[in-house]
Amino acid sequence: MFRQILLLLLLTTLPPYATAVQRPPEGSEFQLFIENDMLARTDRYYTNGIKFGGGMGFDLLQLPAAEVLRQLAPEAGGKVHLGLFVGQNLYTPRSIAVSRAQPLDRPWAAWLYLGGVAQRARDNRLDTVELDLGLVGPSALGKEIQSGWHRLIGSPQPQGWHHQIPNEPAFLVSWLVKTRHDLGKAGGLDVEAIPHGGATLGTVMSLARAGGLVRVGRNMTGFGPDTIEPGGAMLQNARRELEPGRAQRVEWYAFAGIDHRLVAHNIFLDGTVFRDSPGVRRRPHVYDLSLGLSLRYGALRVSLTRVKRSEEFFTATSTGGRQTFDSVNLGLEF
């Protein structure tokens, strides 16, 4: 039943051009995000994330997201840009080869969602609100996706998905603010700092966050690399509004960043809200250190990021949860 509801949502939100095989309206933007720990050779904890969609001018979850944005930043001014995304995250214990329950390790969990996004850009500030609505549990298809991928690449099959957290509808609302500051030049290259801050509230996660990045390169646009987390992507026409005179065909920069989160709730660690569920003791402070490279050639963007995440939960030996994974973003402007 959960799968049918989500499928119906997806079908009813497809824009007209999705079924007419037409070119998307000018200013639309397609984004694909993939996060995985395969290159880090760990296959554990937050083991895979995928999200795709982008800036598109039609309405569903974007309308409540836009209203939240107007309430949170009423004085920001500027046009509100809209977007829609579909995503899935997978989480496993340290060892996926164990078929029995592992009550002292991270629970098996999957999250499948549809996200409506509203964004407003003005001068050196970018405000984004994302409303995600979806499912956790077996209906989020974690077992099917991970098992199928492992068969494809010849990796051992995961054995413990029958112990995953149970089915439950879930949601979150996230607000993220980024600002951009010119730091001058170093060695003939432009240098910028892009701090950020925000908050998330919902049955999936509740947290406050702050951090930023420094980037060095040439012809830099936007607010740093687009990222998979709520509020991490730029939307339809937002880039054109910020840089209407952008004429350089090639853009590149290297970047390093940090994101610190004060976590009050995480369904993938605490367990489901309305049903009994596996869970572990969550750490309230979590941070990511990131290092990467972003390249744009014409309308095509590619960003590669290595992320090191601090421990997210306690274990009997207090050494569980730290991990490394990689993030790839592919963006295409129309």
Q: How confident is the model at residue 322 (pLDDT cuts 50, 70, 90)?
A: confident
* Whether pLDDT at 190 is above 90: yes
Q: Which pLDDT belongs to residue 317? A: 67
Of 232, 226, 187, give the one whose Cα is nearest residue 209.
232
Q: Which pLDDT belongs to residue 247? A: 65
Q: Which pTM was predicted?
A: 0.88
28-85: per-residue pLDDT in tens? Answer: 688 999 999 888 888 889 999 999 998 765 566 777 788 888 888 776 667 888 889 9
Q: Which pLDDT belongs to residue 42? A: 82
Structure-token pair, residue 221: 């646009």
Is residue 200 helix, strand or coil?
A: strand
Domains of the chain, CATH where assigned = 2-333 (2.40.128.140)
Q: Which pLDDT belongs to residue 24? A: 58
Q: Using CA atoms, how far apart are residues 70 and 202, in angstroms rounded to an integer?
A: 19
Those residues whose C-beta lies under 8 Å from the C-beta of residue 167, and which sit 6 or more positions away, are 2, 135, 136, 137, 138, 139
Phi and psi angles of residue 293, each rounded to the nearest 5 degrees, phi first: -140, 140
* Whether pLDDT at 13 is above 60: no
The arithmetic mean of pLDDT across residues 115-128, rounded, is 89
Distances (CA, A) of 180 to 92, 247, 275: 36, 20, 43
Q: How confident is the model at residue 246 (pLDDT cuts 50, 70, 90)?
A: low
- Partners of 303 in the beta sheet? 294, 329
Structure-token pair, residue 197: 């801050």
